[in-house]
Amino acid sequence: MNIFITGATGQLGTYVIDYLQQFAPQAQLFGLARSTQAAQKLAKKGVIARRGDYAEPASLVTALTGMDRLLFISVPQSELQANVVAAAHQAHVGFIAYTSINGIAYPKVGLEQNHRQTEALITATGIPHTFLRNSWYLEMETNPFKAALATGVYDTLSQGKVSYATRQEYAEAAARVIANPQFGAVVELGRDAFTHRELAHALATATGQPLSVQQVDAATYQAWLAPYTATNFETAMQAYVQHGDNGEAAVTQTTFETVLGHPLNSLVDAIRTIL
């Protein structure tokens, strides 16, 4: 069985490869490489590199020829994603698992539009597929965690509910789906939704450091976070995510745990893995 992974040299792809080598040791793994350096990195992990570029459709067809399954790790540009889908169709790929976004029916700072379009394109090909609708990455909180631990105060912008999981947790789910495609066309992946006040309490428990929590305005939040981030974008993103009107209040981890075949780590333990 030949399994192809796009984004194979990225953080998520690297975790996926590690898991696939556990879950599907009989499979031959392939990865997309745009450079000699990327190809060498894949070779060191026992992955066959195939040269390809999202902006060069013909190269994608060549790269995907002979593949039984494709793990399509999404990119922000919809036109590049369309090239991958078209190439998979032309190369007669047998199955696609695609990393999409949870709450796709809601505004997601524009991210939902790309994922909706790509899901529609994949569906139109008739290729059997699973859409891995991931919630937010817990790693998004790395800088706020640093600010909280440095100041002893966890500033929040809102008390809307959100859902986070770690990159490694999403990678394990992706690997299990591509190794054993039995979970249907859509899986919604995320941890039970919680507020940022609850997240702050979990951080305090994970580190043993007492933290006070206060809800503040955007200017105060930006001043609190500024020493740990280079741009104002992170504040704007946090304001959106923390508001919580994004379909995540209803997220539960039941489906995630079904895909994994075991319980998720507690939020406290998940935090410890990224500190």
What is the pLDDT, as a whole number, of residue 225? 92
What is the pLDDT, as a whole number, of residue 105? 82
> What's the whole-model pTM score?
0.95
Domains and CATH numbers, the chain: 2-134 (3.40.50.720), 138-163+192-250+265-274 (3.90.25.10)
What is the pLDDT, as a whole number, of residue 111? 79
233-247 burial code (b ≥16 CB/10 A, e <16)? ebbeebebbbebebb
Give the end-to-end CA distance of the chain in Å, rounded to a whole number: 37
**Are 119 and 98 contacting, i.e. CB atoms less than 8 angstroms apart?**
yes
Q: Which two tokens stand for residue 226?
A: 């500024």
Give me the tens of pLDDT residue by residue for the chain, a chain 275 residues long.
999 999 999 999 999 999 999 999 999 999 999 889 999 999 999 999 999 999 999 999 999 999 999 999 999 999 999 999 999 999 999 999 999 999 888 777 777 888 999 999 999 999 999 999 999 999 999 999 999 999 999 999 988 889 999 999 999 999 999 999 999 999 999 999 999 999 999 999 999 999 999 999 989 999 999 999 867 778 778 877 877 667 777 788 999 999 999 999 999 999 999 99
Strand partners, 51: 33
What is the pLDDT, as a whole number, of residue 112? 82
What is the pLDDT, as a whole number, of residue 244? 66
**Are 88 and 23 contacting, i.e. CB atoms less than 8 angstroms apart?**
no
